A and B are shown apart, each in its own frame.
Chain A
Amino acid sequence: GQNIDQPTEMTATEGAIVQINCTYQTSGFNGLFWYQQHAGEAPTFLSYNVLDGLEEKGRFSSFLSRSKGYSYLLLKELQMKDSASYLCARANNNDMRFGAGTRLTVKP
């Protein structure tokens, strides 16, 4: 939604690394958020990027390229509990818009 694109579904193996990409419209950009949402629950905040580069937080990292309108969320050492939807959201002038989310399934 709102010119934010991310893959609908991804599958990965426990212990592996997965990268979830997000592209967005660059006009009026003010920051990029990633949220995690387990089935039936509310989204929880994971990361925020406003400058180009990589932000690392434990097993999760998020990258931003403002000129390319591109971000990714990197999940390392995948665990079964990481199975969830991952929402990319762009802060734009006075509001924030969410992508449709990427449903990640982690298999043993």
Chain B
Amino acid sequence: SQTIHQWPATLVQPVGSPLSLECTVEGTSNPNLYWYRQAAGRGLQLLFYSVGIGQISSEVPQNLSASRPQDRQFILSSKKLLLSDSGFYLCAWSGGALDTQYFGPGTRLTVL
């Protein structure tokens, strides 16, 4: 069966510090991968999605970037965090663009 992992589970970082969040998927090949952010009490905002290694589509221009160095690994990064980057970051995978998305446990990021 397929599983999706994210780490860390929680993170507190100062403004201006770098960020690296990792997501890995097991039990499937060539998945579509997604990064979402959810601000407190708000809906899911799609940040990036990837249909293959090295292929990244950005939905919202901002100080975040994503990379997919391996088929089942998706990384969200920032060189300098802003206060507005605080939120719940969710990684998801699907078999295709129109298929059900399955979410990882999420990373709660607080930028102080």
The answer to whether B46 touches A99 (Cβ under 8 A) is no
Please report the total number of A residues contacting B with Cβ < 8 Å.
23
Asked whether any CB of chain B lies closer than 8 Å to the CB of A76, the reply is no
Contacts of A48 in B (CB 8 A): 100
CA distance A35 to B71 in the complex (A): 26
Partner of B46, one of A41, A97, A100: A97
Residue B43 at the chain A interface, CB threshold 8 Å? yes
Q: From A40, A41, A95, A98, give the contact of B97 (CB < 8 A).
A: A95
Pick the contact of B43 from A31, A33, A96, A99 — CB < 8 Å? A99
Binary CB contact string for chain B from 79 to 107 against chain A (1 if under 8 A, 0 otherwise): 00000000000100000011011111110
> B104 contacts which chain A residues (CB < 8 A)?
42
Closest to A46 in B: B100
Q: B102 near A45 (CB under 8 angstroms)? A: yes
Q: A95 contacts B103, CB within 8 Å?
A: no
Instruction: Give A34-72 as 1s and 0s: 1 = Cβ < 8 Å from B's Cβ atoms.
Output: 000000111111001000000000000000000000000
Q: Within the complex, what minimum Cβ distance (angstroms) separates A87 from chain B? A: 7
Q: A31-B98, A33-B100 are in contact. Are A41 and B106 (CB under 8 A)?
A: yes
Residue-wise interface mask of B (33-75) relative to A, using a CB-CB cutoff of 8 A (1 in contact, 0 not): 0001000001111100100000000000000000000000000
Contact (Cβ within 8 A) B106 A95: no
Asked if A91 meets B90 with Cβ closer than 8 Å, knowing A42-B103, A42-B104, A43-B103, the reply is no
> What is the distance, in angstroms, from B77's C-beta to the closest C-beta of chain A?
21
Distance in angstroms from B12 CB to nearest chain A CB is 16
Q: When the two chains form their complex, are residues B103 and A96 in contact, meaning their CB atoms are under 8 A apart? A: no
A30/B106 contact (C-beta < 8 A), A43-B44, A87-B44, A95-B46 known = no
Residues of B with Cβ closer than 8 Å to A? 36, 42-46, 49, 90, 97-98, 100-106, 108
A and B contact pairs by CB, cutoff 8 A, 13 listed: A1-B45, A33-B101, A42-B90, A42-B105, A43-B90, A45-B101, A45-B102, A87-B44, A93-B97, A94-B97, A95-B49, A98-B43, A98-B44
